[in-house]
């Protein structure tokens, strides 16, 4: 399908070149074919969208979440991470079934699309039904499955390995390349060295990346040093985890040596400010990481600890909390925040041709309403995205050239059914 968006503010996703003025955007099938003042000759649009009251920007990339966990939102709050996880979340997860995961994931996906996310990195159980929900919705995602979490580990290493490989073979690059898979190594506190090494070996064999929670709490780091003499990052280095591309959520309690290891091994850090603040885990050294050239993306984490999956909240917090900590209002400006939430995330998830609103890139983009009260007057469009817009200002969502939402109405998801089924599923946890 060819889509023409006329006279729209263009935010690129590139922090060094963030705003391109008011232009026309021509989308040909799954590619951004043209951005400029004219309309290309021979371009016959099937759809024309008036862009006058919108900002167009790359679809947001939620680089760390557990979509299904929206079913657990508002159920375990104001607790330490250890109490939250071991006394509240893990007992609920004993009740999960494929059906519950599918219905929870659909609700999470619906919330993400409504707030402008077109691509996400997910880690959970029963990832085959997560994949099915993603395919149904039309979104793009990278889905992580590991040896320990595929529920097959108790049947033995080889069995679990075959199970993960089957998942990879079925879903990696599936659905017109919109799906990718990665290997989950949950965390150093749940994976011992042998498990870390086994996951790393599997990732190498499949030419895949690893998705891990790393240095989330001071307790995690202290325990790791007590048990092994190494920080979790150094344990990962020793076990070969950092030999493959790694997407590490949180990375909060890192010392200068850890930062050097992250940089030298091209690890992506995913900043999840809401979850980290809510669980009082701490605040990551994002300005230091950016200064040292580490790729930093942004994620919501699961809604059991956020309690939403709205990337606009995370962008705003990212830019604000570091100003407060450093006492420097110039640190992490709006343009950098937008790049972290788009291009940096896409790169981390292995979608190289994504995350930028530029000619030749994949057509994943959103239109944000500038006519709502909180965006008047507009003044600086990049500032509007980070400081004055909310997820519910997203009007239109396009992924891979397909419209998933228009005028805030879903085109691929039955919203009423999704809500009804999610409510019912949540009572079974
Ligand atoms: Zn997480």
User: Directed axis angle between helix 218-228 and helix 232-239, to 10°?
Assistant: 50
Helix (H, G, I), strand (E, B) or coil at 375: helix
pLDDT at 80: 85
**Distance from the alpha carbon of residue 308 to the mean position of ligand 1, in angstroms:** 13
pLDDT grade, residue 361 (50/70/90)?
Answer: very high
**Distance from the alpha carbon of residue 274 to the mean position of ligand 1, in angstroms:** 12
pLDDT grade, residue 376 (50/70/90)?
Answer: very high
Joined together, the tokens standing for residue 253 give: 């309690």
pLDDT grade, residue 398 (50/70/90)?
Answer: very high
**% of the chain with per-residue pLDDT over 90:** 95
- List every span in the chain annotated with CATH 3.20.20.140: 60-348
**Distance from the alpha carbon of residue 134 to the mean position of ligand 1, in angstroms:** 19
- List every span in the chain annotated with CATH 2.30.40.10: 2-58+359-410
Nearest to 339 by CA among 23, 27, 57: 57
**Distance from the alpha carbon of residue 140 to the mean position of ligand 1, in angstroms:** 19
Joined together, the tokens standing for residue 158 give: 């080889």
- Tens digit of each residue's pLDDT (9 = 90 or more) over 61-107: 999 999 999 999 999 999 988 888 889 999 999 999 999 999 999 99
Task: Say how far apart CA 127 and CA 366 lie, in whole Å.
Answer: 27
Task: Give 327's contacts (C-beta < 8 A, 6+ positions apart).
Answer: none
Task: Give 331's contacts (C-beta < 8 A, 6+ positions apart).
Answer: 287, 322, 323
**Distance from the alpha carbon of residue 66 to the mean position of ligand 1, in angstroms:** 6
CA 95 from centroid of its chain's CA atoms: 26
**Distance from the alpha carbon of residue 214 to the mean position of ligand 1, in angstroms:** 10
**Distance from the alpha carbon of residue 176 to the mean position of ligand 1, in angstroms:** 27
**Distance from the alpha carbon of residue 336 to the mean position of ligand 1, in angstroms:** 23
Q: Look at strands 117-123 and 60-65 and give their pairing.
A: parallel
The phi-psi region of residue 269 (left if phi > 0; otherwise alpha if psi is between -120 and 50; otherwise beta) is beta
**Distance from the alpha carbon of residue 57 to the mean position of ligand 1, in angstroms:** 26
**Distance from the alpha carbon of residue 338 to the mean position of ligand 1, in angstroms:** 21
pLDDT at 81: 80
**Distance from the alpha carbon of residue 403 to the mean position of ligand 1, in angstroms:** 29
pLDDT at 151: 67
Joined together, the tokens standing for residue 325 give: 């900590």
Class at the top of the CATH hierarchy for domain 2-58+359-410: mainly beta
**Distance from the alpha carbon of residue 273 to the mean position of ligand 1, in angstroms:** 12
**Distance from the alpha carbon of residue 343 to the mean position of ligand 1, in angstroms:** 21
Task: Say how far apart CA 70 and CA 114 lie, in whole Å.
Answer: 14
pLDDT at 327: 97
Helix (H, G, I), strand (E, B) or coil at 327: coil
Task: Say how far apart CA 398 and CA 31 lie, in whole Å.
Answer: 11
Is a pLDDT exceeding 80 seen at residue 153?
no
pLDDT at 260: 98
Is a pLDDT exceeding 80 seen at residue 154?
no
**Distance from the alpha carbon of residue 413 to the mean position of ligand 1, in angstroms:** 25
- Tens digit of each residue's pLDDT (9 = 90 or more) over 15-56: 999 999 999 999 999 999 999 999 999 999 999 999 999 999
**Distance from the alpha carbon of residue 428 to the mean position of ligand 1, in angstroms:** 22
What is the rounded average pLDDT of the residues 205-224?
Answer: 97
**Distance from the alpha carbon of residue 392 to the mean position of ligand 1, in angstroms:** 24
Looking at the domain that runs over 60-348, which CATH code has it been given?
Answer: 3.20.20.140
What is the rounded average pLDDT of the residues 127-149?
Answer: 95
**Distance from the alpha carbon of residue 17 to the mean position of ligand 1, in angstroms:** 32
pLDDT grade, residue 313 (50/70/90)?
Answer: very high
**Distance from the alpha carbon of residue 97 to the mean position of ligand 1, in angstroms:** 20
**Distance from the alpha carbon of residue 189 to the mean position of ligand 1, in angstroms:** 13
pTM, two decimal places: 0.98
Which of 341 and 158 is assigned the larger pLDDT?
341
**Distance from the alpha carbon of residue 277 to the mean position of ligand 1, in angstroms:** 13
**Distance from the alpha carbon of residue 93 to the mean position of ligand 1, in angstroms:** 14
**Distance from the alpha carbon of residue 304 to the mean position of ligand 1, in angstroms:** 10
Is a pLDDT exceeding 80 seen at residue 152?
no
**Distance from the alpha carbon of residue 313 to the mean position of ligand 1, in angstroms:** 17
- Tens digit of each residue's pLDDT (9 = 90 or more) over 172-209: 999 999 999 999 999 999 999 999 999 999 999 999 99
Nearest to 81 by CA among 261, 275, 353: 275
């Amino acid at each position: 399908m060819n889509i023409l968006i006329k006279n729209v503010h263009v935010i690129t996703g590139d922090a060094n070149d963030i705003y391109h003025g008011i232009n026309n955007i021509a989308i040909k099938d799954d590619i951004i074919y043209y951005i400029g003042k004219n309309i290309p000759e021979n371009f016959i649009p099937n759809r024309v969208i008036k862009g006058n009251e919108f900002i167009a920007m790359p679809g947001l990339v939620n680089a760390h979440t557990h979509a299904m966990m929206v079913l657990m939102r508002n159920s375990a709050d104001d607790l330490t991470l250890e109490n939250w996880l071991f006394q509240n979340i893990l007992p609920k997860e004993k009740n999960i079934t494929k059906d519950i995961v599918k219905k929870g994931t659909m609700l999470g996906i619906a919330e993400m699309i409504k707030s402008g996310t077109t691509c996400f990195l997910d880690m959970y159980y029963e990832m085959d039904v997560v994949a099915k929900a993603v395919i149904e919705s039309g979104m793009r995602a990278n889905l992580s499955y590991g040896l320990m979490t595929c529920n097959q580990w108790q049947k033995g290493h080889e069995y679990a390995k075959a199970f993960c490989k089957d998942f990879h073979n079925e879903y990696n690059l599936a659905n017109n390349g919109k799906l990718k898979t990665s290997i989950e190594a949950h965390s150093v506190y749940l994976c011992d060295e042998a498990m870390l090494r086994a996951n790393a070996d599997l990732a190498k064999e499949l030419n895949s990346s690893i998705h891990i929670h790393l240095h989330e709490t001071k307790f995690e780091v202290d325990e790791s040093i007590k048990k092994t003499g190494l920080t979790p990052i150094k344990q990962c280095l020793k076990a070969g985890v950092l030999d493959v591309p790694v997407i590490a959520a949180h990375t909060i309690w890192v010392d200068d040596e850890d930062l050097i290891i992250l940089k030298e091994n091209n690890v992506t850090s995913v900043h999840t400010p809401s979850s980290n603040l809510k669980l009082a885990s701490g605040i990551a050294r994002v300005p230091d990481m950016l200064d040292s050239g580490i790729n930093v993306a942004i994620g919501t984490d699961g809604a059991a600890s956020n309690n939403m999956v709205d990337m606009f909240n995370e962008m705003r917090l990212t830019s604000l909390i570091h100003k407060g900590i450093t006492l420097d209002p110039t640190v992490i400006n709006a343009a950098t925040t937008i790049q972290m939430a788009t291009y940096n995330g896409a790169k981390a998830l292995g979608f190289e041709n994504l995350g930028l609103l530029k000619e030749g890139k994949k057509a994943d983009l959103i239109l944000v309403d500038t006519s709502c009260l909180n965006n008047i007057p507009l003044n600086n469009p990049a500032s509007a995205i980070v400081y004055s817009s909310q997820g519910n200002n997203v009007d239109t969502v396009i992924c891979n050239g397909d419209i998933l939402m228009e005028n805030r109405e879903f085109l691929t998801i039955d919203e009423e059914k999704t809500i009804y089924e999610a409510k019912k599923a949540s009572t079974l946890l």
